[in-house]
């Protein structure tokens, strides 16, 4: 992949870019083999590769420069770097960013200046559905000061950009804190962006998680579905289910009675909508804390699927798993280090059977890993 910003030393996000892609993958697989070495019984399957460019279907652009000459990209040591032409994104993103710069000028949206703590527009977040090419656009603002101007000029943007399905404003008044704030203001009649992976409808919403590499996510869910076919039982939990990718793939065969647990209510609403669209009746999605749900439960599922954030399951949830003793455990992780730590905790009661790397994040050191474990006493 050719990247002028990387070659010029202005963007270091893809810190492995100088390594040829097959070597990157071999290196990640080797690192995973080292981490999984304590679990000698496990089979390490071949890594699933990604496209080398155009795979990242979500962009997070820091807005800097001025309202007359906005820059969309990153701040590298305080210097604005324009990443409008970043080759990680689908081809439609570069013209979309150019249109958005015109929108910023037209609506006179002053970029937020980190040093001076002045200005309004902090970030632009753009997600594309690979099924339809339609997009979801979010503006992260410091306050409501320029909300009216965005609303006034939005019809112009919609006219130029027929693929624009969902548009919202997120308010983040806090300086240099987490990227997004809790308040989201929807500006379009549509609030869901429909995606379809392996024939399963999934709905992206402004404040719910969705994997950034859609093609590799599809391979990940399809693999989980395939592994589950050989697992006996009926009761299935999908903890940290997001909009339902894992659970819905497994449940579509009709055998599993699915309980999906996720902290974000909007994601649960999306997952519920997908389930009803698929005509699945033995499905329940609930907006709850996964650890609290597991701790309060007395009856274990036959198969427990978990896909936690980077921090992993942690001691409390591992303890609940050991107490509940589900026969099978499928653990998908975007952080092999916390995965290895959790597997070590679970190792007394669970045998690691399979491990597979899904290269969700090419040109970086990050990796998604799917594992299958079975209760030792079975
Ligand atoms: C790595 S994402 C996985 C989402 C989903 N499984 C998927 O494939 O897209 C982790 C998810 O855990 C959710 N989450 C974070 N903390 C949580 C908690 N304490 N209880 C339940 N869900 C939580 C996040 O909102 C996010 O949707």
- What does 122-159 look like in DSSP terms, one character per residue? EEEEEEE-TTT--EEEEEEESSSTTHHHHHHHHHHHHH
Q: Is 195 in the pocket of ligand 1 (CB under 6 A)?
A: no
Q: Which residues belong to CATH 2.40.50.1070 in the chain?
A: 58-196
Classified as helix, coil or strand, 45 is: coil
The pLDDT of residue 136 = 98
**113 - beta bridge partners?**
118
Residue nearest to atom 13 of ligand 1 (CA): 240
The mean pLDDT of 92-99, rounded to a whole number, is 98
- Our answer on whether the CB atom of 309 is closer than 6 Å to any ligand 1 atom is yes
* Residue 267 CB partners (closer than 8 Å, separation 6+): 205, 208, 209, 241, 242, 243, 244, 287
Q: 241 CA to middle of ligand 1, Å?
A: 6
What is the C-alpha to C-alpha distance for residues 358 and 25, in angstroms, rounded to an integer?
10
Which residues, 6+ apart, have CB-to-CB distance to 296 below 8 Å?
none
Mean pLDDT of 138-163: 97
CA-nearest residue for atom 6, ligand 1, is 241
Mutation pick for ligand 1 pocket among 58, 236, 262 (CB with most ligand atoms within 8 Å): 262
Q: Where does the chain hold its CATH 3.40.50.150 domain(s)?
A: 14-52+213-375
Evaluate: CB of 242 within 6 angstroms of ligand 1. yes
Helix (H) or strand (E) holding 185: strand 183-186
Residue 356 marked as a ligand binder: no
CA-to-CA dists, residue 46 to 32, 229, 332, angstroms: 11, 20, 16
Note the pLDDT tens digit of each residue in 309-360: 999 999 999 999 999 999 999 999 999 999 999 999 999 999 999 999 999 9
What's the CA-to-centroid distance between 141 and ligand 1, angstroms? Answer: 25
CA of 31 to the centre of ligand 1 (A): 25
Cα of 302 from ligand 1 centre, angstroms: 21
pLDDT of 179 reads 85
Sign of CA dihedral 337, 304, 203, 183: negative
With a cut of 90, say whether residue 40 has pLDDT above it: no
Considering the candidates 86, 167, 241, 334, report the single residue annotated as catalytic: 334
pLDDT more than 70, % of the chain = 99
What pLDDT does 176 receive?
Answer: 63
187 touches 233 (CB < 8 A): no
Calculate ∠ Cα 215-221-223, nearest 5°.
Answer: 105
The pLDDT of residue 177 is above 90: no
Global pTM? Answer: 0.97
- Neighbour count for residue 79 (Cβ, 10 Å): 10
Beta strands at 368-375 and 235-239: parallel, antiparallel or unpaired? unpaired
Cα–Cα dist 189/116, whole Å: 36
Hey, whose CA ends up nearest to atom 11 of ligand 1?
240
> How far is it, in rounded angstroms, from Cα 145 to Cα 115?
20
The finding on whether 342 has its CB within 6 A of some atom of ligand 1 is no
Query: Cα(36)–Cα(355) distance, rounded to whole angstroms?
Result: 8
β-strand partners of 132? none
Confidence class for position 171, pLDDT limits 50, 70, 90 = very high
The domain 14-52+213-375: what is its CATH number?
3.40.50.150
Q: What are the residues whose beta carbons fall under 8 Å from the beta carbon of 34, sequence distance 6 or more?
A: none
Q: Cα of 239 to ligand 1 centre, how many Å?
A: 8
Atom 16 of ligand 1, nearest CA residue:
263
Instruction: Say yes or no: CB of residue 254 within 6 Å of ligand 1.
Output: no
First-to-last C-alpha distance (Å) of the chain: 47
H or E stretch at 343: helix 336-346
Q: CA 244, CA 260: separation in Å to the nearest integer?
A: 7
pLDDT class of 378 with cuts at 50, 70, 90: confident
- Distance set, CA 265 to CA 21, 242, 269, 270 (Å): 38, 9, 6, 9
Confirm or deny that 262 is annotated as ligand binding: yes
Nearest CA to ligand 1 atom 4: 242
Q: Is 334 labeled as catalytic in the residue annotation?
A: yes
Question: Is ligand 1 within 6 A of the CB of residue 245?
Answer: yes
**CB of 216 closer than 6 angstroms to any ligand 1 atom:** no
CATH number of 58-196: 2.40.50.1070
């Amino acid at each position: 992949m050719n990247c002028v910003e990387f070659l010029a030393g202005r963007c270091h996000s893809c810190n492995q870019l100088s390594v040829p892609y097959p070597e990157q993958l071999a290196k990640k697989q080797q690192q995973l083999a080292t981490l999984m070495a304590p679990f000698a019984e496990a089979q390490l399957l071949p890594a699933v590769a990604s496209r080398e460019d155009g795979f990242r279907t979500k962009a997070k652009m820091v807005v800097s420069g001025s309202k007359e000459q906005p820059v969309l990209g990153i701040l590298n040591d305080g210097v604005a770097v324009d990443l409008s032409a970043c080759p990680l994104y689908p081809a439609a993103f570069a013209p979309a960013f150019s249109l958005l710069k015109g929108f910023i000028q037209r609506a006179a949206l002053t970029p937020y200046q980190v040093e001076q703590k002045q200005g309004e527009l902090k970030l632009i977040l753009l997600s594309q559905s690979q099924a339809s090419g339609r997009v979801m656009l979010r503006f992260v603002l410091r306050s409501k000061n320029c909300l009216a101007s965005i609303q006034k000029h939005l019809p112009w943007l919609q006219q130029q950009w027929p693929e624009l399905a969902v548009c919202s404003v997120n308010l983040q008044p806090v300086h240099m804190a987490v990227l997004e704030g809790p308040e989201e203001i929807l500006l379009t009649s549509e609030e869901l962006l429909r995606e379809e992976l392996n024939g399963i409808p999934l709905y992206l919403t402004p404040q719910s998680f969705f994997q950034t590499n859609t093609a590799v996510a599809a391979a990940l869910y399809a693999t989980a579905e395939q592994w589950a076919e050989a697992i006996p039982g009926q009761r299935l939990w999908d903890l940290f289910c997001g909009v339902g990718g894992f659970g819905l793939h497994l449940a579509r065969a009709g055998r599993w009675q699915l309980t999906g647990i996720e902290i974000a209510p909007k994601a649960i609403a999306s997952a519920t909508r997908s389930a009803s669209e698929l005509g699945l009746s033995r499905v329940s999605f609930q907006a709850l804390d996964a650890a609290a749900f597991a701790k309060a439960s007395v009856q274990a599922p036959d198969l427990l699927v978990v896909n936690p954030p980077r921090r992993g399951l942690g001691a409390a949830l591992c303890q609940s798993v050991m107490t509940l003793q589900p026969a099978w455990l499928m653990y998908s992780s975007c952080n092999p280090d916390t995965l290895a730590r959790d597997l070590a905790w679970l190792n007394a009661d669970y045998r690691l059977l399979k491990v597979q790397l899904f290269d969700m994040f090419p040109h970086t050191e990050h990796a998604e890993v799917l594992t299958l474990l079975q209760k030792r006493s079975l």
